Structure 1
Amino acid sequence: MNENELPGTDASLWLETTPSTDFQPLAEDKRVDVAVVGGGIAGLSIAMELTDAGKSVAVLEAKRIASGVTARTTAKVTSQHGLVYDELTSKFGREKARQYADANEAAIEIVADRADRIECDLRRVPAYTFVNDENDRNRVRREVNAARNVGLPASFVERIPQIPAAVAAVRFDDQAQFHPRKYLLGLADEVSHDGCDVFEGTTVTGVTPGSPCEVETARGTVLADDVVLATHFPITDPAGYFARMYPKQSYVVAVRTRDPAPDGMFYRTGTPYFSARSHEIDGESVVLVGGQNHKTGQGGSTTERYRAVEREARNHFDVDEVVFRWSTQDYRSVDGVPFIGPIAPWREHVYVATGFGGWGMTTGVVAGRILAEEIAGTGSEWADVFDPGRLPPLSNATSFVEENTNAGKQFVADWTTKPHATTEPLPPGNARIVRENGSAIAEYRDENDELHRVSAVCTHLKCLVKWNDAEETWDCPCHGSRFDCDGSVLDGPAVRDLPKR
């Protein structure tokens, strides 16, 4: 192997071990009760809940269902989201912390109940969040107490056999892990035969609130009483979600080990975090190791990030081989709680589910239950804590200012310090940004010596994109939009491609 190459297949395990989908695109105008934009765990969970409630639904997916963020998760179905409950209680009070806990515990049971009829490799296992520093031991004790106070199955442990470096951990019993693609493909098959149509290759270009709402696509218009935007980042942003969330990118390697696979799910809080869980492929166990999170477009060489995750895997396990590697991007709200509910007070009948912060396997399911109940008019007992209209706690004011200042500084720095004109030839496998007649141009020459030239100006809010050397993408360091080397949008908030130059 070339010393610059990374080990393992550059693909998600979940995508490689399931068939592709072939739902047809929208072919004509359509009228339904609810239009759901996005075919990941949130969108399909919402569709399932709505069809169970007797609603007619259209799921509109720009690419292929269950192929975006959901296909790149480590797929932990757990209410344990790091050391969060002490913080949630402090920020929001015990009642809202309890709502968050109850909602996520309920999501585990919803998935487990559906797994009785959908084969998705679901296993009930304990989850651990651990620390390596003796100085953090009291943080773990406080977390255990806070979690117990809101009814969670938490216990304090001082030793984890699979993680010898751990000095303390909070353990949650009866959590779960599964194969997310198998689960969602089963869900899609069920809802597509029960009052719901799933449309792939159908990009939504606009949403007009009203009675009914109009959902515009290049293939026709869908009229719906209600619309749910479950597109990772909302495709329309009337309430400034770009300023209330920030993107983080992280990395996963799936490895074969010589020692027994760990029994449980493991997470080390902090930056960078560490995550591990096992999964069985054709009777053989692999361990999924994740970490190296950073703000999108600001992490330096992504190739080096993969290498760092591989080193972590080898530090914890007797690794025989790296089988797969992939990266993922998540949006986290400034207060750490997802936004699930009406997208804005002045946009009636339009709802949003976003900001899952890396824990979408439960909070995406929570979104399905909350929004189905909100649309039905009954209201949800969990809605308050996830309300998109909430004001961030004062304790998060600093985080809000820091994240938006970071984006502003990135914008100014990019435009005042780079790029520069150059006539130097660009070697194959390399990328750069140059200035040409006052325009910023992103150039990439692939291994076949073909030069790809696109505008370097993100079509969201005009920050300059940066090269991602491992994925060969252009990533926006301000708000996380990602583009293929040919300029096509891979991830929002941008909805328009980078123009070719």
Structure 2
Amino acid sequence: MDTASLWQGTAVKMACLPTLQTDIAVDVAVVGAGITGLTAAMLLAAGGKTVAVLEAHRIGGSSTGHSTGNLYALTDMGLREIARRRGEATMRAVAESRASAVDALAQTIQALSLKCAFTRTAWHLIASTPETTGAVEEEHKAAQAAGLQARLVDASPLPLPARRTLRVENQAQFQPLDYVRQLAQHIVGDRCLVFENTPALAVDDANGEIRTPNGSVRCERILLATHTPVGVHLVQSKLDVVREYAVALRLEDALPEPGIYWVLGQDNYSLRLFTEGGIAWLVAVGAPHPTGHAQATAHPFDALECYARTHFKLGPVDYRWSAQRYRSEDLLPCIGRNVDSARTWIATGFSGDGLTYGTLAGMMVAEQMRGRPTPWDDLYSPSRLANGKRPDGFERERTEAAPSAVLPLDQAARALFADLPLCESRQLEHGGQKLAAFRCEDGRVLIVGAKCTHMGCDLQWNDAETSWDCHCHGSRFGPDGQVLEGPALTPLARAPDISPAGEPDQPDETGAED
């Protein structure tokens, strides 16, 4: 079974793009080459701007490549909830903006002849228990009020128990990694440079400069398109961070009707189909939990598999993966110039709706940077975050990596981990310092500092993904302390490894990643 996503396993292979190796100057620098950053880069370059896109890893390898591949005008919390909390006019504007993003993405695919399995399909909300029928009926009213093609039916097109089903026409699905990889190939040229394996280590908003390991970018405008902005930013105090899991199993029965299916019940699940190379998969998504709040195990994947097999005739699990979502407290993303910034834009708070909101954000930022307003600037503006007293630690926004640190480790500290079993973790305090350790399959013990380098919060071991996770703002680190996911920029302080024989080794000298 592959530990990569279905999209990574089935996408067309693409040669690596270059790593930035020198100092350059452009009009706009974009940090992050997912759907948000590449959409903005495409439109900015088409509008006459010179652009440099900096990706820490591979194109689309983070949030975009670990998504569901679903595109829709509705939202994961429900249009009904936006209407209840923000009013019907806001709800209609949200649906309108998201529908326009799906249409724009479809136009891009057609104009560039991208091969990414794009298809229009219906979105469904299924009440599987009597207690959830009211929510489905309320969402139907909200969808109709938003001008969507919505209707209620009693049955479900899938072999699932259904008390009531909302069906909304003209939504869409695609292969998201094929989309962004091909988009990157189309936009690379004299006006648009795209660099892979080029992490941003520091962003100087005042002077318009981004520092990377081997070169810098001077620019007039900056877009942090990294899902949550790397570094310390006020918006992070307003985001709830959740991890969610997915499995892709081979279908061995007749193919159900294609579509996007959200199932409400004792536990909530998202289902979809995907076919490639004559193989059909059922994708099941669910089992969410707050990042770093509880000890995660492999059970989320087991629970998804069990649910899927209860209702479908399925073969092996070919892929399993996870993703992180950042939900704004007021249910609306933040898209626009950052609160304290002279030249930096952010795009975050997409919750589980990132492919559509990411496309919308790229569209909006490109227009705003060219001095052209959009109908939704006020709706999603980060300026709404500036009201009221700032939480501790967010008085000054900053985007810079501190030097990596080495933990001193004496003989007494090493002895505390001598009996640590294979593939298990342990945290303890020694000499006033919190330590976190993991024993690898080869017997080595990796020891790192147990405090997040973003803002110093405690870390929690995630057994399902073999990572140290931060419950405060969602940073995640590998067992060796390297950054897996921002907003942290700096790796955890690391001690020399303990070899299977009990002797200290020297840690790898690796730089920070965002």
TM exceeds 0.5?
yes
In the other structure, the counterpart of 1:252 is 246
The answer to whether 1:454 aligns with 2:472 is no
Secondary structure (helix, strand or coil) at the match of 2:298 reads helix
Alpha-carbon separation, structure 2, partners of 1:85 and 1:470: 32
Q: TM-score by structure 1 length?
A: 0.89
The answer to whether 1:203 aligns with 2:199 is yes
Does the C-alpha gap of structure 1 residues 279 and 307 become closer, same or farther in structure 2, counting only changes over 3 Å? same
Alpha-carbon separation, structure 2, partners of 1:46 and 1:34: 10
In the other structure, the counterpart of 1:56 is 50
In the other structure, the counterpart of 2:181 is 185
Secondary structure (helix, strand or coil) at the match of 2:220 reads strand
In the other structure, the counterpart of 1:119 is 115
Residue by residue, what CA displacement relative to the aligned partner does 1:45-98 show, whole Å, maximum 9, x if unpaired? 111121121211100111112100111111101112245212212222233222
Secondary structure (helix, strand or coil) at the match of 2:372 reads coil
Secondary structure (helix, strand or coil) at the match of 1:51 reads helix
The answer to whether 1:36 aligns with 2:38 is no
Does the C-alpha gap of structure 1 residues 171 and 393 become closer, same or farther in structure 2, counting only changes over 3 Å? farther
Structure 2: runs of 5 or more not aligned: 395-412, 496-514
Q: Letter of the aligned partner of 1:300 in structure 2?
A: Q
CA positional deviation for 1:384 = 2.1
1:335·1:393 contact (CA, 8 Å) conserved in 2?
no
CA positional deviation for 1:277 = 0.4
In the other structure, the counterpart of 1:14 is 7
Note the 1:93-492 alignment, pairs <5 A. Answer: 93-116=87-110, 117-193=113-189, 195-210=191-206, 213-238=208-233, 240-262=234-256, 263-269=258-264, 272-344=267-339, 346-390=340-384, 422=416, 425-492=419-486
Alpha-carbon separation, structure 1, partners of 2:312 and 2:335: 38
Does the C-alpha gap of structure 1 residues 187 and 205 become closer, same or farther in structure 2, counting only changes over 3 Å? same
Alpha-carbon separation, structure 1, partners of 2:96 and 2:296: 40
1:255·1:319 contact (CA, 8 Å) conserved in 2?
yes
Secondary structure (helix, strand or coil) at the match of 1:10 reads coil
Q: Letter of the aligned partner of 1:161 in structure 2?
A: P
Secondary structure (helix, strand or coil) at the match of 1:64 reads coil
1:261·1:287 contact (CA, 8 Å) conserved in 2?
no
Stretch moving more, 18-27 or 41-50: 18-27
Structure 1: runs of 5 or more not aligned: 1-7, 395-399, 405-418
Secondary structure (helix, strand or coil) at the match of 2:382 reads coil
Alpha-carbon separation, structure 2, partners of 1:487 and 1:272: 33
Alpha-carbon separation, structure 2, partners of 1:21 and 1:152: 41
CA positional deviation for 1:166 = 2.0
Secondary structure (helix, strand or coil) at the match of 1:390 reads helix
Alpha-carbon separation, structure 2, partners of 1:79 and 1:124: 12
Secondary structure (helix, strand or coil) at the match of 1:325 reads strand
Q: TM-score by structure 2 length?
A: 0.87
1:39·1:66 contact (CA, 8 Å) conserved in 2?
yes
Selected match of 1:66 from 56, 60, 68? 60
Number of positions where the alignment pairs a residue of Structure 1 with one of Structure 2: 470
Alpha-carbon separation, structure 1, partners of 2:427 and 2:255: 44
1:271·1:293 contact (CA, 8 Å) conserved in 2?
no
Alpha-carbon separation, structure 1, partners of 2:250 and 2:241: 30
Q: Letter of the aligned partner of 1:314 in structure 2?
A: R
Does the C-alpha gap of structure 1 residues 201 and 164 become closer, same or farther in structure 2, counting only changes over 3 Å? closer
Tell me the percent identity: 35
Secondary structure (helix, strand or coil) at the match of 2:426 reads strand
Secondary structure (helix, strand or coil) at the match of 2:303 reads helix
Alpha-carbon separation, structure 1, partners of 2:338 and 2:32: 15
1:228·1:350 contact (CA, 8 Å) conserved in 2?
yes
1:487·1:500 contact (CA, 8 Å) conserved in 2?
yes
CA positional deviation for 1:269 = 4.5
2:76·2:352 contact (CA, 8 Å) conserved in 1?
no
Alpha-carbon separation, structure 2, partners of 1:84 and 1:392: 26
